[in-house]
Chain A
Amino acid sequence: MESYQLPQFPAHLSCVHAALYTDVSDADLLRKRLITASTAEGVDGERERDALNFSFIEARLVWLFSITSVNHMRTAVYQALLAASQDSLRTKTVHSEIIWALNPTNNISEAMRRYGVSDTTTALIAVRIAGPEVLATSVEGDMDAVIKGTKASFSALPALTDWAAVKKYHKLGNEAAVRDAKNDLEREHAVVDSIVTSSVAMKSVMA
């Protein structure tokens, strides 16, 4: 798990914890649990929502190979935090905002479908935004309790990324930059990563 601080944000938004899980076997259950939790009422509903208070990002679509690429996720987190601190969230929570920020369009359910957890997900990233009073170890324990899978280092990601889907979602197939790099896979991935990361960063002013 990686944890980092953003001291410029209000305390309750200032710590980010993220972990990558591979070989996830209970994605369908996880998704059902998320849906029931969000609709459940009363004390049980509250408790269930607390237990699942994470973003689950479908890992296939996020590339985190070198330092530049942890950036894709971090950039989405940053823009979500910025929106939360300015009371301009487009979705209900800062966690769902992260998933929304990853998708180039304004359609929330499309973003959830593409970048959220699905029944067939086998690799995912869990992200938790918290205040400094929440210990990294307790977040990690909470994640482990919810997700059945193997925790992996972020360096394992490039092999998991579905590059064709990323290119399709961001309509990169015909862009000059991508066409120029098509004979060199490593370079093409770097180019796609840089375009996609920049798109995430500037989503708020794209329209």
Chain B
Amino acid sequence: MASSSLTLISTSTLISQGAEAKVYKAHLTAAPSEPLVLLKHRFHKGYRHPTLDASLTRTRVAGEARALLKCLRSGVNVPGVRMVDAAEGVLGIDWIDGNSVRKLLPGGAGEEDEATSSEDEEPDPVDLLHEYDISVGVLGQLIGQEIAKMHLADVIHGDLTTSNMMLRHPASFKSRHSTLRTELVLIDFGLSYHSSLVEDKAVDLYVLERAFSSTHPDSEPLFASVLKAYELRMGKEWAAIGRRLDDVRLRGRKRSMVG
């Protein structure tokens, strides 16, 4: 008997594929009001022993789902979990209608998906930001706040890049603020883990800083506003993390193995 999750995937639309998983857009049921979900399928890896493959897949699906729930409980904006099939390695989460921050900033468009850019002209990032009715400064603040909320819950994302942050499209989102028509959502907790160490939080920020400077030219002021909002939200925890961030900048992501 074919697995129900694989049957579901076979009727869904593939959005993208990485080394670890394929991502699909799907409806869980045929009910008319059923909202969209995103399915992340950690497919079988033929190069691993089947037993090891099954246990790694199970652990990773479970880990990602747990990190999402922990974030939800702590008020971090993340997609909710809609189904988990650990045996097949499928995780279903809420579909988020919007764009990744990477696409909204200069330098981020194109490159990542060359296949689609040939079909139609990529919209200009400046136009897109206008569509979301948000300035670059405010965007930086939102990013800083979400990361701070996540770190206060002792969740380390592990792969903070502008591709792993999305803005909800104003058309599909009812905002509680009068001035803000969108919200920032953190996605892809595949590399996340639980830690309260200053080192891990500082490295998380450093990874984001490097991601900014390597994908978006002249983004220093933006990252400064990210840090500013982060500092404000972290309160007294910031001092230690700020100091450690300076250390990490000097030595890089990995600690020295000498001695």
Give chain A's interface secondary structure class.
helix
Say if the beta carbon of B73 comes within 8 Å of chain A: yes
Known: A184-B176, A198-B80, A198-B81. A206 touches B66 (CB 8 A): yes
At the interface with chain A, which of B82-90, B108-116, B126-134? B82-90
- The answer to whether A70 touches B82 (Cβ under 8 A) is no
B192 CB, min distance to chain A CBs, angstroms:
14
Residues of B in contact, count (CB < 8 Å):
38
> How far is B86's CA from A88's CA once the two chains are assembled, in angstroms?
12
Q: Which residues of A contact B75 (CB under 8 A)?
A: 175-177, 180-181, 191
B117 at the interface (CB under 8 A from A): no
B residues 68-104 touching A (CB-CB < 8 Å): 68-69, 72-75, 80-87, 92
Q: Could you tell me which residues of chain B, from 3 to 58, have a CB within 8 Å of some CB in chain A?
A: 3-5, 7-8, 11, 28-31, 33-35, 58
B4-A81 in contact (CB<8A): yes
Give the interface segment out of A5-13, A20-28, A116-124.
Answer: A5-13
Asked if A30 is an interface residue, CB under 8 A from chain B, the answer is: no
Identify the stretch in A72-80, A92-100, A144-152 within 8 Å (CB) of chain B at 4 or more residues: A72-80
A2 within 8 A of B: yes
- CB neighbours of A10 from chain B (8 A): 1, 4
**A89: interface (CB < 8 Å):** no
| B62 at interface by CB-CB < 8 Å | yes
Q: Mark A45-84, 1 if CB is under 8 A from B, else 0.
A: 0000000000000000000000110110011001101100
> What is the minimal beta-carbon distance from B43 to any residue of chain A, in angstroms?
17
Q: Name the CB-closest residue of A to B92.
A: A201
Name the CB-closest residue of B to A202.
Answer: B65
In the complex, whether A161 has a CB less than 8 A from a CB of chain B is no
Are B7 and A204 in contact, CB atoms less than 8 angstroms apart? no
* B227 beta carbon closer than 8 Å to chain A: no
**Do A86 and B87 touch (CB < 8 A)?**
yes
Q: A9-B4, A78-B82 are in contact. List 6 more A-B contacts (CB 8 A).
A: A4-B31, A6-B4, A8-B7, A74-B28, A85-B4, A202-B66
A selection of 29 A-B contacts at a CB cut-off of 8 Å is A4-B34, A74-B28, A78-B82, A79-B83, A81-B4, A82-B83, A85-B4, A86-B3, A86-B87, A176-B75, A176-B149, A176-B152, A184-B176, A187-B176, A191-B75, A194-B80, A195-B69, A195-B73, A197-B82, A198-B68, A198-B72, A198-B80, A198-B81, A201-B65, A201-B80, A201-B81, A201-B84, A205-B66, A205-B86
